[in-house]
Amino acid sequence: MTDIYLDHAATTPMTQEALAAYADAARRGANASSQHARGRVARRIVEESRERIAAIVGARPSEVIFTAGGTEADNLAVKGAFFAQPRRDVVVVGEAEHHAVLDSARWLATYAGAQVRYVPVSGDGGTDAGDLARVLDEADGRVAIASLMWVNNEVGTISPIAEIAAECRARAVASHSDAVQALGLCPIDFGKTQLGAMTIAAHKVGGPIGVGALVATRDFPLVEIMSGGGQERAVRSGTLDAPAIAGFAAALEQAAAGRESQVTRQRQIRDYLIDRVLAEIPHAHLRGVDPRVDATRRLSGNALFTFDGCEGDSLLFALDSSGVSASTGSACQAGVPQPSHVLMAMGLSEDEARGALRFSLGCASTKDDIDGLLAVLPGAIERARRAGQVGRMKKETVA
């Protein structure tokens, strides 16, 4: 059976280097907070990994706070910054943020009295620094945290994060960016962006699932949201997963070393995919920035299409039965049959947004994968459209 994996934006398989680093650290297993010799070995693994990760992302080692992944890091940034500033009651987020940010803001509104203000996105899925500035000014000094993502996880649009951080800094507003999709594929220098904090995760760059970090300056307002032993600057308690952290550092170093060549290779394969889909599939639409016009504003391995008359989940299952793995959008919303909030924020109708399918490339992706996809995609779309017609007829009959 065909096995084509085009869902690297959800998770990319662990590299051999990351697996080896993980296994080596796991064999030495001990708690990094323990004072005995084996505990000190685990602590050294953690701290050396922290230094390696910090060097790659342009941060100080003391600014890297390890978490159990991107979702936890986003929660820590948004909720931790809000509770650290009791005189500020406004949380600013982008309309097309990952749900880890959006739902953290909504949780604060429900349980902590926060007012949530939304920054609109453009028709291509990007955030304009001027739009952010207007939202910040309207809040009149009451913003506790502004969180805007670096790269959109569904359509791959790259936003001008340094400009966004500058608007926040000019107004003394704490800034945070979910940089999970940017890691390993965009040049990242945390210090130069002058962000207050950013989120990264290992499993997007070939590291283990279940480990990430909040990179936060020492003056970023932050209090713990999970109490315990006081690890990680006393803002993220819990036993550190030394093997996963070692795998994270190994994977990130490998990704950073090959970033430029990988970006060039992915762009070529991605553009080949776009050309073929638009040429061979009637009523297919590329959503987001067209990288053949401006390659700098879309992540190299991302292509999201909508297909008229299709339900994305039906199309996804049809492809899966043919051995092709793709996604309707964020995997964190898997199993939830609702249209993409990202595409609707971009101005698409609910029906249009329901027909979305995202293909995302990784280190192992090839043009042969695209040829294999296009061998089965037309038939999958035909079946999905027929299923959609039957569904609409049933709804009309009931109505």
**Across the beta sheet with 175-178, what order do the strands follow?**
64-67, 212-216, 197-201, 175-178, 143-147, 90-94, 115-119
Provide the annotated active-site residues: 332
Q: DSSP for 314-337, please give it.
A: HHHHHHHHTTEE-BSS-GGGTT--
How far apart, in whole angstroms, are the C-alpha atoms of residue 264 and residue 291?
12
Angle at which helices 129-139 and 161-170 cross, to 10°: 20
| Single-letter code of the amino acid located at 236 | R
**CA 51 and chain centroid, separation:** 23
Q: Which residue, 282, 327, 331, is CA-closest to 307?
A: 282
CB atoms under 10 Å from CB of 1, counted, come to: 5
Q: Are 183 and 252 in contact (CB under 8 A)?
A: yes
How far apart, in whole angstroms, are the C-alpha atoms of residue 216 and residue 54?
11
How far apart, in whole angstroms, are the C-alpha atoms of residue 273 and residue 287?
14
In three-state secondary structure terms, 346 is: coil
CA dihedral 195, 199, 203, 209 (to 10 degrees): 160
Q: Are 266 and 12 in contact (CB under 8 A)?
A: no
Bridge-based pairing of strands 115-119 and 64-67 is unpaired
Q: Which two tokens stand for residue 75?
A: 């929660």
SS3 content of the chain, % helix, strand, coil (to 5): 45, 15, 40
In three-state secondary structure terms, 387 is: helix
Dihedral sign for Cα atoms in the order 276, 279, 284, 286:
positive
Q: DSSP for 195-250, please give it.
A: -SEEEEEGGGTT--TT-EEEEE-TTS----SS-SS-TTTTTS-S---HHHHHHHHH
